[in-house]
Structure 1
Amino acid sequence: MSSPSILVADDHPLFRNAVIHALRGALPGATVAEAASAASLGQALDARPDTDLVLLDLTMPGAHGFSALLHVRGEHPEVPVVVISSNEHPRVIRRAQQFGAAGFIPKSSPAETIGEAVTAVLDGGAWFPPLTVERSEQDAALAARLAQLTPQQFRVLLCLADGLLNKQIAHELGLAENTVKVHVTAILKKLECHSRTQAAVLVKSLEPEGPPVE
């Protein structure tokens, strides 16, 4: 792919610039857009339906660990996502794979590695560091449950995790309060949760595990 459209989602401008520089070196014809939060990531994808690849940091504002990855995979399943993170713990890499990422690039990687990984994924493949952690059936089950949610229900779920009341969620998402109630009921049923608190705890489980590597 000679002129792919790539979206770099990271809240650190200096790191975004470094990634963009690496992309320019590996793919001189690439078109690159930027996002600095989970909200702007969604807006950028809606505005750029021709996006071929997303490079995604896990710790942006508005994201609960892997929630942004799951949201993109649910709302734009045709767009591959490569996680790029300073947390290189093997458990985090394995979870990214199980939650639908097409690749994982440690932030400590040289520019050549970024280019290699992006090229591999754009060619239809995958790119991960060697994995030493076994696949988790618990994560597989969690991903399957979350995949049942519509994009709007996923947004409502993230608001629940932030402790918002139905009225606040309605204001945040521009919905009628009764519509929020319907979504909450459906969310709890699909996730097999008995309470809003239990659903919030489930979202918290999406946080990466293992110490970040500086």
Structure 2
Amino acid sequence: MTETFQILIADDHPLVRGALKQALSTELDNVTVYEAGSLFEAIEQIEAHKGDIDLVLLDLHMPGMNGFTGLFTLRASYPDIPVSIVSASQELPVVRRSIEYGASAFVPKSAPVDQIGLAVKTVLDGGMWMPDWAREAMENGPADDEANGLAEKIGQLTPQQLRVLNMLTEGKLNKQIAYELDVTEATVKAHVSAILRKLSVHSRTQAVIIARELQLQEPAIEA
């Protein structure tokens, strides 16, 4: 009996989701695809199909992501679900950080259908995938100690602490954060204190500076 894979495509462009869905249907014998247009919707879908999602195909540039913060949030919240980045960016630092921050694959949106299929199959089999040029550059180039150090620090934060850090980056006050998360201000203060301790900083401003290292510029649009 053929195994059915359940895959979530999280991208805010319906045409991209459609193309990826078609690629998955072509390359996999039996697949069920769910869709989301934001990080919030992605989490809703994972919660709705708790324990059933085998893989998330994640766009770095969609509502709620705030750069790599969304990747950290998914990995912290659902460590058993592999995440593959599917991005229009093809810059080596973006590929490197995606992998070092917990992604199981990095797939350019311009990749041919068979490569997308190979990447997905590799991750579903428990492996890791990236384009050959990126793999060679990462194997032959120097290690990114800064990215590794940042990943280690951010990786200590709980999903709720990541949400609080994200809101601090947006300039929100404790009162606003408490309202949005439906918790007390005392709880927010406790989260902030834990964030400062885990990031080895002494102020909210320093924490925000570190968090902004996770943000990304939108990829250039080709004419």
TM-score category of the 2 structures, normalised to the smaller one: over 0.9
Which residue does the alignment assign to 1:207? 215
> 1:109 is matched by which residue type in structure 2?
A
Distance, in Å, in 1 between the alignment partners of 2:221 and 2:202 is 37
- The two structures have a TM-score, normalised by structure 2, of 0.91
Which stretch shows the higher mean deviation, 102-111 or 38-47? 38-47
Which residue does the alignment assign to 1:71? 73
Which residue does the alignment assign to 1:33? 34
RMSD: 1.6
Structure 1 unmatched runs, 5+:
none
CA contact (8 A) 2:165 2:208 kept: yes
Which stretch shows the higher mean deviation, 12-21 or 125-134? 125-134
In the alignment, structure 1 residue 148 sits paired with structure 2 residue 150: no
Structure 2 unmatched runs, 5+:
none
2:204 to 178, 182, 196: 196
CA contact (8 A) 1:7 1:33 kept: yes
Which residue does the alignment assign to 2:120? 118
Secondary structure of the 1:34 match is: strand
Tell me the alpha carbon deviations over residues 128-149 of structure 1, each in whole angstroms, 9 at most, x when there is no partner. Answer: 1132143311111111111111
In the alignment, structure 1 residue 183 sits paired with structure 2 residue 184: no
Which residue does the alignment assign to 2:12? 11
CA contact (8 A) 1:89 1:212 kept: no
Distance, in Å, in 2 between the alignment partners of 1:68 and 1:34 is 16
1:42-57 alignment runs, 5 A limit: 42-49=43-50, 50-57=52-59
Secondary structure of the 2:76 match is: helix
How many aligned residue pairs are there? 214
Q: 1:176 offset after TM fit, Å?
A: 1.0
Which residue does the alignment assign to 1:102? 104
> 2:104 is matched by which residue type in structure 1?
A
> 2:81 is matched by which residue type in structure 1?
V
- The two structures have a TM-score, normalised by structure 1, of 0.95
Q: 1:192 offset after TM fit, Å?
A: 1.2
Distance, in Å, in 2 between the alignment partners of 1:10 and 1:62 is 11
Secondary structure of the 1:82 match is: strand
Q: 1:211 offset after TM fit, Å?
A: 5.6
CA contact (8 A) 2:46 2:53 kept: yes
Distance, in Å, in 2 between the alignment partners of 1:39 and 1:110 is 29
> 1:61 is matched by which residue type in structure 2?
P
In the alignment, structure 1 residue 139 sits paired with structure 2 residue 141: no
